Structure 1
Amino acid sequence: MMQMIEKIRANQPVVVNLANSVTPQHVADAVSMLGGSPLMLEAPQEADEFVDIAQAVILNIGTITQERLALMIKVGKRANERGIPVILDPVAVGMAYRSTCLKELAAAVHFDYIRGNASEIGWFADVDVAGKGIDALDQSLDVSIAQKAALATGATILQSGVQDVISDGTKTAVVSYDNPLLAVNVGAGDMLSAVVGTFGAIADDSVDAAVAAAMAFSLAGNQAGAQAGIDRPGTYMAALYDALYQLTDVDLNAGVVAWH
């Protein structure tokens, strides 16, 4: 992971977000606290101009519509043409309409990273993992789901949960830091996808970027928990922003990664 945070803060990469309508402020703040420069895209007329100055693009299907899908296809294609990473957050993709939309999006756009919970990643691997809305119900560790999804999509997968699994189908890593208040706060997963985009914007290796993103968010989550306590989820979010802002490469490189 070397000096990735230092590189982010030195270069301030532009990360374009097609966020859902629920959590755009959380997403923008996550990018900004790490040292990136978030751009939140809504108008199709700005799509090309935004992508042309970006170092990464994040597509979040959490509140997908036909109009939003068309914009995602336009932005994703432009990012593919420019050779900048596209990060997909397939929120609750197992639901019928979202599944249909994502199939259309995936036919038009190559995703460099996919960040989702086990249920969402299982959709790409053709593996049934119990889920409820935006949450995965099965939190047991199974690295094969991420591996299969990576091979099926050509993307680097970050399967987030109590243990985060990162795989490109060949290299697989597990990051085992977690705090239960991350799951309580709606938008934590969206923030993690934004963190993946921020690291992906400056990294040479996609697995290294995804591992660094998982490590950064998990360590910040633990630090926030130590500060906020176990029963103050609102205070926890403020502490999470502080922890992301204060995070260093020393912290990142001290984290333990299990390679499979």
Structure 2
Amino acid sequence: MSRYQAMFDRLEQQQQGALVPFVTLGDPDVATSLSIIRSLIAGGADALELGLPFSDPVADGPTIQKAAIRALAAGVSQADCFSIIATIRAEYPDLPIGLLVYANLVVSNGAEAFYQRCQQAGVDSVLIADVPVREGERFNALARANGIAPIYIAPPDASAERLGQVAAHSEGYVYLLSRAGVTGADTTLQAPAERVIRALKAANSAPPLLGFGISNPEHVQAAIAAGAAGAISGSAVVKIIEQQLHDLPAMYAALEQFVATLKAATNKP
């Protein structure tokens, strides 16, 4: 059984949804990044979604773009990022860990070598943000050959045919967008049409996790109420890092408390 399946089974028994925070690896430096991730887990994160710092993150808004800039300015390398993952994997052997990356990072030193590094570090899934399903088959094959679940994005306006393709090729979970556009912590959440979730479930998809704009407990509750298996919160988490760079103990405490607050909202009625 995969770590994702074990997590979803456990949460179903507990009548909870999944809370999955996102951060950029190496932001603002390697040591602090490790402590940040430990704070997220201490707050109750059910899984992690982690980004590799990249110079042109086209799916991300300014908050996560600045996180990537901080990591790159600190000289954080891809090897550093995999070292962070390996450390977290050793400390938390059952925690699902997913990567959200861009195609350039996968292919720059060879896609096969990239997936091998993922497997060695203990990564469970890889979502390539700028690779749609129709172009993903070669990545799927390499992922599966290394025991890595390929993840695809389900847009809120996708046709039934496209949702069926996303369902057929995603393993672990499906990344369900609350809206079109780039990442960002909105004050109002555009909850997905229940049609999208019904279509995914009808296609026997992996559990859908709702992302983009998840920034408070009400957003998490709305995601669960709409039928999502959980929620992914990125920009709101990374914003705390940005605001507390001058006081690391305060940052860690704020991150743990924020995740705990969102996690409490995953309880199903």
State the TM-score, normalized to the length of structure 1.
Answer: 0.42
Higher helix share: 1
State the TM-score, normalized to the length of structure 2.
Answer: 0.41
**Per chain length, whose mean CA-contact separation is higher, i.e. which structure has more relative contact order (CA < 8 Å, sep 6+)?**
2
